[in-house]
A and B are shown apart, each in its own frame.
Chain A
């Protein structure tokens, strides 16, 4: 995991390494200042005990040195702080970039595995958490221990006997902090899970507010939420209770150390082994040593809490993309023929039951094929194998006589245009969205595609026309309009094979027929594969495939199937009797 995450440091390696180095300077200055201070105070002490005027030259010198040191320390701190923010913001940007690019290389199967919402969380919240931990790490991970070591060394310089007390105190402090944290961290992790549950209830109630109100379940939901907040409260209190013992524990160690310092230090002073000025220096070192230990523990704490986020990010980066561009890929699609050769397929390779079983289907270039079947009959799965959105588990799919796995993916997908069932448009104008199909399309081409998809008529009615902003996910147009725009977008690819996966479900029957007519005229040589709920949408196709439970239950023309396919007849009757046609 760490190795994966470290790869994204790249151009910020300099800052990442420089930050702790500069922090060393800051730490050194911070530990030297008390020492010089004790020398300064010694000058005063000597003068007072000898009843002589203070040597102002010495005072000025020590003062000057210390101010210089403070300035140096400030400079180091400022530079270090800036470098740290450059490193962490830069690292986060790189990490985000790497993840995003990796996701772009994902196959459909990879996307399904993670789900969109989980990928979004990983790209947003998780990155933020890791960024914070990274900044803490570069600034404190080295500084805290260095501060600790310097302060220990300096206390040995001042007085070795007292320094041993500090070493002992540091050990006790470390043990105390580790003990408390090891209790608090799991508590916090559990608390976060409860938080997610709690927020999940709130989220659900926001989206399903109409259901809640319709069934008058407000009180039921309030009870549910209270139960969730109670659980969050319990775990939070449990974790917090441990956390708040940390500060008093740290204070206790500091006070005990001070107590010992004064008790022993006092006696050493009487013996003439320790100056009063040394005592102040040691007092500062005690604080520095112990805060050093505490800060280090806090960094570890931060990292422990960011670890789940780091892990989720690493999972995205380490995910093996299961669909790769082949070497020596074919970059030319000969024609629009499609051949399924004994194809078996399942989304999960370990699943017992296949989604598609023993599919043999041969579609000639230029043919129009309709596909009909109930919910869950694997119609979508079947066609998604043609542009190689998924790979077959058994057998092979050939386009233009060549196995789809031999094609360059971009070549294949540019020639096989698929209008997805769950389709989206993007923020931006209609024209911009159309250019997804073909970056270099002329305005006339865009108009022609929209005309063929029967979208021109409503676009012309919008005042902004092709400049109209569709909004996030295309929310500014109705379902039927969206479907027509999606079809137009696919047409702009000028594909050899065009696949409609239930792409006209929200379009009325007449427009549906007009689209099919226009297509026939505009793209006569294009192979068309049409999945539909409505018999009317496929009735005129050269052939119709009836899917049932992952198998082909029948192939033939409308008339043939009406006479010899029970399922087809049933579907037909349900619609005709229902009165849709």
Chain B
């Protein structure tokens, strides 16, 4: 039964290249785990489904057997006779069993919908929830395309596998076994013949599947190549136009397209050939069985070997009715064999997909960090007291021993790096022996070329990555002793690559603090100088943004990101090229807002434009992971060092 979503089966669309043709490493283990996953929540329902599959398979076998009994009975009564009680008995028994079988198959497929969809939902939720707990390093190590392909292609194949393939395989196996015994009862000789054909069938299917596997891998590879080309060229289509490069673009495309056509033709040919071949082999078997059956029917032969006595009276030849039943059975034997053979690809692909899904679920989570939490407190005579609506933020150090009181440290925003060394890989240090301090309320700027380690410093403060040597303290506490979520909650971040979410403009600003009122959001937008352009949007603050805010300019998106940070009201701010796409005049306009935002806060600024960092309390010039100069703007200018050269334009930043 073809299912609509299976349209994408075997030919993944975008991003289908990854994982294509890659088999499962340990299919048996993965399958076991998948079954456990599926049955853990739906144990009894799954047992019920299995029982019903067996019942409905047996019902359909008995219907075939009844056809034999029925024709046998007809022949017994003979032409000119009249229907007797057994005639009606057989007829209604056949009808009754058939109806029961249908009822079972209807019920189990309904239940299976809930089981497979429910399991899929759980699998997706688990995968996504777990992904949220993974460290940044995981996302840096995997491409979005690869991960997205797990969310789309792999789950899709798996759903297909669970909702259809597994029930079908169970049903097929039952049918194959049941029919085999029924056939054996009718005639051992004919069954031996039938098994010879089965061997031939399996041989052909095996050959063709093996061949199709190779073709499919090649098809996937060329599809991936072509889709990659399409992606790159369409993204750069405007450049193609400006350079009148259309003809050349078509030429390269044509070659890739032709390769794909050839490989796709080959791959699909094998699949298309498989159906008619096995189907007609079934016919040949049917015919040969009929011929052999007719030979065995002749009186005097003793080779029918029927275990159940479907032989003519007085001789060992098979009766006509027995042959007819046998032929019907033989056909219902071949069908499930073919079906199981055709499911082979789905199972292989499903297992490979399941393995990738489990790989995400199994990836080690980011640790939660230390014990110190961030709480609201009020100042009292005895020190600080924790209150939900407290006016101040404080770090809460849990009691060391039972009976001790928790210790509170007021959050001030004092951040120190003490001889910090770090590298993303053990081979290469990105930061070498960096020491610096930011006192509460200070603005610290980082200046330096791409790759000098500016962004890395901010990645260490919020513990996206952990340092290798040295220490980082926050209000005197080692950052590793602070719970990560609380540490990050205390840091407002505006990143160079602005990312917005599908939702209204208001929702996007509120992302900074979920309980912010509309008024607070609008006020933040005003401070960020975003209010005027937001009001010009079709629905103002209620305009829905799609695709990462694709309809906004980079500058406008940065303004929204700044508004978002303003709403979050964090004691420490990290501005990583936060205003790089905003023109200097607008930057001037939001300066007041920015000043207000930075007031009383510890701020780390990374900026390309030196005008942005000029009024910092300390400017650090980084080169290859080392702070080579530090001081105020005036001091650094006086030093006539690297900063001076940068400032006067003698060196470039990129």
Contacts and interface: CB of A to CB of B under 8 A. Distances in A.
Interface residues of A, number: 179
A437 B242 contact: no
Contacts of A108: 238, 241
B237 A111 contact: yes
B131 to A, nearest CB: 7
A206 B144 contact: yes
Interface string A409-449: 11001100110101110110000000011010000000000
Contacts of A120: 14, 230-231, 234-235
Given A93-B261, A214-B488, A41 B290 contact: yes
Interface in B213-233: 226-228, 230-233
Nearest to A245: B106
Given A104-B250, A205-B131, A533-B583, A82 B328 contact: no
B13 A230 contact: no
Which of B77, B550, B584, B614 is most buried by chain A, counting CB atoms within 10 A of its CB? B584
Given A96-B257, A120-B14, A410 B547 contact: no
A213 B272 contact: no
A74 B276 contact: yes
B649 A216 contact: no
B654 A213 contact: no
Contacts, number: 464
Contacts of A580: 584, 609-611
Contacts of B287: 33, 37, 63, 66-67, 70
Contact of B280 (A70, A119, A427): A70
Interface stretch (B22-30, B318-326, B426-434): B318-326
Contacts of B239: 420, 423-424, 436
B499 A211 contact: yes
B170 to A, nearest CB: 15
A78 interface: yes
Contacts of A156: none
B264 interface: yes
Interface in B499-521: 499-502, 511-512, 514
Contacts of A539: none
Interface in A200-250: 200-222, 225-226, 229-230, 232-233, 236-237, 240-241, 243-248
Contacts of A184: 4
Nearest to A436: B243
Interface string A271-291: 110001101100100000000
B117 A85 contact: no
Contacts of B354: none
A208 B230 contact: no
B642 to A, nearest CB: 13
Interface in A70-101: 70-71, 73-74, 76-78, 80-82, 84-86, 88-90, 92-93, 96-97, 100-101
Contact of A92 (B234, B261, B464, B499): B261
Interface in B514-536: 514, 533
A77 B276 contact: yes
B585 A570 contact: yes
B131 A266 contact: no
B468 interface: no
Interface in B1-32: 1-5, 7-8, 11-14
Contacts of B40: none
Contact of A255 (B99, B288, B328): B99
B132 A222 contact: yes
Nearest to B270: A85
A266 B261 contact: no
Interface stretch (A167-175, A338-346, A476-484): A476-484
Interface stretch (B67-75, B192-200, B396-404, B439-447): B67-75
Question: By DSSP majority rule, is chain B's interface helix, strand, loop, or mixed?
Answer: helix
Given A44-B323, A129-B8, A508-B649, A240 B228 contact: no
B8 A218 contact: no
Interface residues of B, number: 167
A117 interface: yes
A108 B240 CA distance: 11
A86 B263 CA distance: 10
Which of B241, B277, B284 is most buried by chain A, counting CB atoms within 10 A of its CB? B241
A298 interface: yes
B635 interface: no
Interface in A481-532: 481, 489, 493, 506-511, 513
A276 B273 contact: no
A473 interface: yes
A48 B312 contact: yes
A306 B4 CA distance: 9
Contacts of B12: 128
Contacts of A131: 11, 264
Given A237-B117, A283-B67, A510 B250 contact: no
A209 B488 CA distance: 13
A10 B236 CA distance: 29
A445 to B, nearest CB: 16
A410 B232 contact: no
Contact of B117 (A69, A240, A437): A240
25 contacts: A41-B294, A59-B291, A78-B276, A80-B276, A81-B275, A85-B271, A103-B234, A139-B272, A203-B148, A205-B128, A206-B147, A225-B124, A226-B125, A229-B121, A240-B163, A247-B109, A251-B102, A259-B91, A270-B83, A280-B327, A301-B4, A305-B7, A306-B7, A375-B583, A420-B239
Given A85-B265, A375-B583, 5 more contacts: A100-B250, A111-B241, A124-B230, A251-B101, A280-B327
**List of 9 A-B pairs having minimum Cβ-Cβ separation, nearest first:** A77-B276, A578-B611, A81-B272, A480-B654, A508-B652, A125-B13, A208-B499, A85-B268, A74-B280
